[in-house]
């Protein structure tokens, strides 16, 4: 190998090493990025009935308005259950076809009761027969 080829190889390997280290650092920072604080972010107020109706009418338009945003949803609790992780999931009454399913963060089921009005803050993640909301927090009145 000539000296020119060795220098070129060293530069190429050095550039690759910088790229790999940068990608590793960015990946590490993204993986350990903290969650949004749902309690202190300005939320979009909406009734559960309107939210479900908007998704049933035009899902694309509703996604533009609600998807990945913090919502403050008000409605009547029609069901309380647990998911596979043991988290409390409440359903707020919507239209006859769908509800708003809210996965609550760290709230035991005994603090919420069916057939009562509730206001839940959480992040809307989309529509799958029901509107799905995660990281929900029941607001105190």
Give me 44's structure tokens.
């979009």
- Asked if 55 and 99 count as a contact pair (C-beta separation under 8 A), the reply is no
Distance CA 73, CA 136 (A): 10
Distance of CA 136 to the CA centre of its chain: 9
- Return the pLDDT at 86: 87
The CATH topology of domain 38-138 is: OB fold (Dihydrolipoamide Acetyltransferase, E2P) (2.40.50)
pLDDT means over runs of 10, the chain (141 residues) = 85 95 94 82 94 94 95 94 90 89 79 88 93 90 61
Domain positions in the chain are 1-33, 38-138
Q: What are phi and psi of 24, to 5 degrees?
A: -65, -45
- Return the pLDDT at 110: 64
């Amino acid at each position: 190998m000539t000296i020119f080829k060795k220098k070129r190889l060293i530069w190429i390997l050095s550039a690759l090493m910088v790229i790999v280290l940068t990608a590793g650092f960015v990946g590490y920072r993204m993986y350990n990025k903290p969650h949004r604080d749902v309690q202190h972010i300005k939320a979009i107020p909406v009734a559960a009935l309107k939210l479900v109706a908007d998704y049933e009418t035009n899902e694309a338009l509703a996604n533009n308005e609600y998807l990945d945003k913090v919502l403050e949803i008000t409605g009547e609790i029609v069901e309380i259950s647990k998911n596979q992780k043991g988290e409390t999931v409440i359903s707020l009454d919507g239209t006859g076809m769908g509800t708003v399913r809210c996965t609550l963060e760290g709230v035991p089921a005994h603090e919420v009761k069916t057939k009562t009005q509730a206001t839940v803050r959480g992040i809307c993640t989309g529509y799958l027969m029901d509107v799905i909301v995660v990281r929900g927090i029941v607001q105190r009145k």
